[in-house]
Protein backbone atom coordinates (compact mmCIF):
# COMPACT_ATOMS: atom_id res chain seq x y z
CA UNK A 1 0.00 0.00 0.00
CA UNK A 2 1.40 3.38 -1.01
CA UNK A 3 1.01 6.30 1.37
CA UNK A 4 -1.87 8.16 -0.22
CA UNK A 5 -5.63 8.01 0.36
CA UNK A 6 -8.86 10.02 0.36
CA UNK A 7 -11.07 10.89 3.32
CA UNK A 8 -13.40 13.54 1.97
CA UNK A 9 -16.98 12.85 3.08
CA UNK A 10 -18.46 14.00 6.40
CA UNK A 11 -17.75 11.96 9.51
CA UNK A 12 -21.44 11.13 10.01
CA UNK A 13 -21.43 9.23 6.71
CA UNK A 14 -18.67 7.03 8.11
CA UNK A 15 -20.48 6.70 11.45
CA UNK A 16 -23.65 5.56 9.68
CA UNK A 17 -21.79 2.73 7.93
CA UNK A 18 -20.03 1.66 11.12
CA UNK A 19 -23.50 1.55 12.75
CA UNK A 20 -22.16 1.41 16.28
CA UNK A 21 -24.66 2.00 19.11
CA UNK A 22 -23.94 4.34 21.95
CA UNK A 23 -22.68 7.88 22.39
CA UNK A 24 -20.38 9.51 19.82
CA UNK A 25 -17.71 11.96 20.94
CA UNK A 26 -16.86 13.93 17.80
CA UNK A 27 -13.82 16.22 17.75
CA UNK A 28 -13.53 16.58 13.95
CA UNK A 29 -16.74 18.52 13.30
CA UNK A 30 -19.71 17.94 11.05
CA UNK A 31 -18.45 19.39 7.76
CA UNK A 32 -16.97 17.25 4.95
CA UNK A 33 -13.42 16.28 5.82
CA UNK A 34 -12.23 17.32 2.35
CA UNK A 35 -9.04 15.24 2.08
CA UNK A 36 -9.02 14.09 -1.55
CA UNK A 37 -5.26 13.50 -1.58
CA UNK A 38 -4.10 12.74 1.97
CA UNK A 39 -0.44 11.92 2.62
CA UNK A 40 1.55 10.74 5.67
CA UNK A 41 1.78 13.09 8.68
CA UNK A 42 -1.65 14.57 7.93
CA UNK A 43 -4.11 14.30 10.85
CA UNK A 44 -6.95 12.03 9.72
CA UNK A 45 -10.26 11.14 11.35
CA UNK A 46 -9.85 7.98 13.40
CA UNK A 47 -12.39 5.93 15.38
CA UNK A 48 -11.51 4.40 18.74
CA UNK A 49 -13.44 3.29 21.82
CA UNK A 50 -12.92 4.40 25.40
CA UNK A 51 -15.26 3.38 28.23
CA UNK A 52 -17.98 2.20 25.85
CA UNK A 53 -18.01 5.49 23.95
CA UNK A 54 -17.04 5.88 20.30
CA UNK A 55 -14.53 8.67 19.82
CA UNK A 56 -13.52 10.24 16.54
CA UNK A 57 -10.34 12.29 16.71
CA UNK A 58 -7.96 13.80 14.19
CA UNK A 59 -4.78 11.74 14.62
CA UNK A 60 -1.50 12.03 12.75
CA UNK A 61 -1.00 9.36 10.07
CA UNK A 62 2.29 7.75 11.01
CA UNK A 63 3.83 6.56 14.27
CA UNK A 64 7.11 5.35 15.72
CA UNK A 65 8.13 4.46 19.27
CA UNK A 66 10.01 7.09 21.23
CA UNK A 67 13.29 5.21 20.89
CA UNK A 68 13.20 5.00 17.07
CA UNK A 69 14.25 8.59 16.46
CA UNK A 70 16.54 7.84 13.51
CA UNK A 71 13.86 6.51 11.15
CA UNK A 72 10.84 7.99 9.45
CA UNK A 73 7.58 7.16 11.19
CA UNK A 74 5.91 4.25 9.33
CA UNK A 75 2.34 4.75 8.11
CA UNK A 76 1.61 1.03 7.66
CA UNK A 77 2.25 -2.12 9.68
CA UNK A 78 2.43 -5.64 8.25
CA UNK A 79 -0.08 -7.94 9.92
CA UNK A 80 2.40 -10.82 9.68
CA UNK A 81 4.69 -9.03 12.17
CA UNK A 82 2.74 -6.34 13.97
CA UNK A 83 1.22 -8.51 16.71
CA UNK A 84 4.52 -9.97 17.88
CA UNK A 85 7.25 -7.60 16.72
CA UNK A 86 9.16 -5.25 19.00
CA UNK A 87 8.52 -2.06 17.02
CA UNK A 88 4.73 -1.90 17.41
CA UNK A 89 4.46 -3.72 20.76
CA UNK A 90 3.42 -0.54 22.60
CA UNK A 91 0.41 0.20 20.38
CA UNK A 92 -0.77 -3.26 19.27
CA UNK A 93 -3.41 -3.32 22.07
CA UNK A 94 -4.75 0.10 21.01
CA UNK A 95 -6.99 -0.67 18.06
CA UNK A 96 -8.72 1.89 15.84
CA UNK A 97 -10.52 2.19 12.52
CA UNK A 98 -9.42 4.64 9.85
CA UNK A 99 -12.47 5.28 7.63
CA UNK A 100 -11.55 6.25 4.06
CA UNK A 101 -13.21 6.73 0.69
CA UNK A 102 -10.42 5.23 -1.41
CA UNK A 103 -6.68 4.78 -1.64
CA UNK A 104 -4.14 5.19 -4.44
CA UNK A 105 -1.37 3.02 -5.86
CA UNK A 106 1.25 3.82 -8.51
CA UNK A 107 2.07 1.33 -11.29
CA UNK A 108 5.01 1.27 -13.70
CA UNK A 109 3.40 0.84 -17.12
CA UNK A 110 6.49 1.72 -19.14
CA UNK A 111 5.80 5.43 -19.46
CA UNK A 112 7.96 8.32 -18.27
CA UNK A 113 6.09 8.33 -14.95
CA UNK A 114 4.25 5.70 -12.96
CA UNK A 115 0.48 5.68 -13.45
CA UNK A 116 -1.67 6.29 -10.35
CA UNK A 117 -4.70 4.07 -9.78
CA UNK A 118 -7.62 4.72 -7.44
CA UNK A 119 -9.08 1.77 -5.48
CA UNK A 120 -12.54 1.95 -3.89
CA UNK A 121 -15.51 -0.24 -3.03
CA UNK A 122 -17.58 -1.27 -6.06
CA UNK A 123 -20.54 0.68 -4.70
CA UNK A 124 -18.46 3.64 -3.51
CA UNK A 125 -19.30 2.99 0.15
CA UNK A 126 -16.85 3.91 2.94
CA UNK A 127 -13.86 1.66 3.56
CA UNK A 128 -13.08 0.71 7.18
CA UNK A 129 -9.35 0.11 7.59
CA UNK A 130 -7.96 -1.72 10.61
CA UNK A 131 -5.47 0.47 12.44
CA UNK A 132 -3.54 0.74 15.69
CA UNK A 133 -2.01 3.76 17.33
CA UNK A 134 -0.97 5.89 20.24
CA UNK A 135 -4.33 7.57 20.64
CA UNK A 136 -5.58 10.77 22.29
CA UNK A 137 -6.84 10.47 25.83
CA UNK A 138 -10.43 11.66 26.28
CA UNK A 139 -10.75 15.46 26.55
CA UNK A 140 -7.00 16.03 26.21
CA UNK A 141 -6.55 16.50 22.46
CA UNK A 142 -3.71 15.05 20.42
CA UNK A 143 -0.43 14.55 22.25
CA UNK A 144 3.04 15.14 20.86
CA UNK A 145 3.67 11.43 20.27
CA UNK A 146 0.19 10.39 19.16
CA UNK A 147 -0.17 8.77 15.75
CA UNK A 148 -1.49 5.69 13.99
CA UNK A 149 -0.63 3.13 11.34
CA UNK A 150 -2.88 1.17 8.99
CA UNK A 151 -2.59 -2.63 9.09
CA UNK A 152 -1.68 -4.19 5.73
CA UNK A 153 -1.73 -7.70 4.28
CA UNK A 154 -0.66 -9.37 1.05
CA UNK A 155 -2.60 -8.23 -2.00
CA UNK A 156 -5.02 -10.68 -3.61
CA UNK A 157 -6.42 -11.32 -7.08
CA UNK A 158 -6.07 -8.49 -9.55
CA UNK A 159 -4.85 -6.15 -6.81
CA UNK A 160 -1.45 -7.84 -7.10
CA UNK A 161 -1.00 -5.98 -10.40
CA UNK A 162 -1.27 -2.68 -8.55
CA UNK A 163 0.78 -3.36 -5.41
CA UNK A 164 1.91 -6.32 -3.34
CA UNK A 165 0.25 -4.94 -0.19
CA UNK A 166 -3.27 -3.75 0.62
CA UNK A 167 -4.95 -2.31 3.71
CA UNK A 168 -6.85 -4.76 5.88
CA UNK A 169 -10.46 -3.65 5.32
CA UNK A 170 -13.11 -4.92 7.72
CA UNK A 171 -16.86 -5.23 7.29
CA UNK A 172 -18.86 -3.04 9.70
CA UNK A 173 -19.58 -6.05 11.93
CA UNK A 174 -15.91 -6.99 12.17
CA UNK A 175 -14.90 -3.33 12.56
CA UNK A 176 -17.13 -3.08 15.63
CA UNK A 177 -15.52 -6.21 17.05
CA UNK A 178 -12.04 -4.85 16.25
CA UNK A 179 -12.84 -1.62 18.12
CA UNK A 180 -14.22 -3.40 21.19
CA UNK A 181 -11.56 -3.32 23.94
CA UNK A 182 -12.97 -6.62 25.21
CA UNK A 183 -11.97 -8.42 21.99
CA UNK A 184 -8.90 -10.55 22.82
CA UNK A 185 -5.67 -9.65 21.03
CA UNK A 186 -5.52 -13.16 19.58
CA UNK A 187 -8.96 -12.73 18.02
CA UNK A 188 -7.98 -9.33 16.60
CA UNK A 189 -4.90 -10.85 15.00
CA UNK A 190 -6.96 -13.67 13.49
CA UNK A 191 -9.46 -11.19 12.03
CA UNK A 192 -6.75 -9.10 10.42
CA UNK A 193 -4.93 -12.15 9.07
CA UNK A 194 -7.87 -14.00 7.56
CA UNK A 195 -11.04 -11.90 7.46
CA UNK A 196 -10.19 -8.73 5.57
CA UNK A 197 -12.47 -7.95 2.64
CA UNK A 198 -11.36 -9.76 -0.55
CA UNK A 199 -10.18 -8.13 -3.77
CA UNK A 200 -13.59 -8.82 -5.31
CA UNK A 201 -15.09 -6.15 -3.06
CA UNK A 202 -13.14 -3.42 -4.84
CA UNK A 203 -12.89 -1.68 -8.19
CA UNK A 204 -9.95 0.33 -9.52
CA UNK A 205 -9.23 2.63 -12.42
CA UNK A 206 -6.56 4.98 -13.71
CA UNK A 207 -6.51 8.22 -11.75
CA UNK A 208 -5.60 11.78 -12.57
CA UNK A 209 -1.78 12.12 -12.64
CA UNK A 210 -2.16 15.34 -10.64
CA UNK A 211 -2.68 13.18 -7.56
CA UNK A 212 1.09 12.68 -7.56
CA UNK A 213 1.51 16.17 -6.11
CA UNK A 214 0.12 16.19 -2.59
CA UNK A 215 -0.60 19.91 -2.87
CA UNK A 216 -3.30 19.12 -5.43
CA UNK A 217 -6.76 18.62 -3.93
CA UNK A 218 -10.30 18.51 -5.26
CA UNK A 219 -12.97 16.10 -6.54
CA UNK A 220 -11.39 15.86 -9.98
CA UNK A 221 -8.69 13.65 -8.44
CA UNK A 222 -11.19 10.87 -7.72
CA UNK A 223 -13.11 10.85 -11.01
CA UNK A 224 -12.95 7.58 -13.02
CA UNK A 225 -11.56 9.05 -16.21
CA UNK A 226 -8.40 9.07 -18.29
CA UNK A 227 -6.16 12.13 -18.08
CA UNK A 228 -3.13 13.28 -20.04
CA UNK A 229 -0.46 15.65 -18.78
Catalytic residue among 2, 177, 189, 220: 2
Residue 63 near residue 133, CB atoms below 8 Å:
yes
105 in catalytic set: yes
2 in catalytic set: yes
| 140 secondary structure, DSSP code | T
What's the Cα-to-Cα distance from 166 to each of 31, 76, 100, 141, 150, rounded to whole Å? 29, 10, 13, 30, 10
What's the Cα-to-Cα distance from 134 to each of 57, 92, 145, 166, 207, rounded to whole Å? 12, 9, 7, 22, 33
Catalytic residue among 98, 105, 129, 197: 105
Long-range CB pairs of 215-219 (<8 Å, 24+ gap) are 216/37, 217/34, 217/35, 217/36, 217/37, 218/36, 219/8, 219/36
Residues marked as catalytic: 2, 105
Amino acid sequence: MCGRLSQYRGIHDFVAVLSMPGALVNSVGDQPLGHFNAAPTLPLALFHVVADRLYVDAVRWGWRPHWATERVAPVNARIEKVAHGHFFRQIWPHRAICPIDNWFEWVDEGGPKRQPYLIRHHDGSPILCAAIGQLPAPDEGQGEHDGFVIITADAQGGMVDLHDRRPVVLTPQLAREWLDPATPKERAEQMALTQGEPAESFAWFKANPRVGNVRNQGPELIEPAEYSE
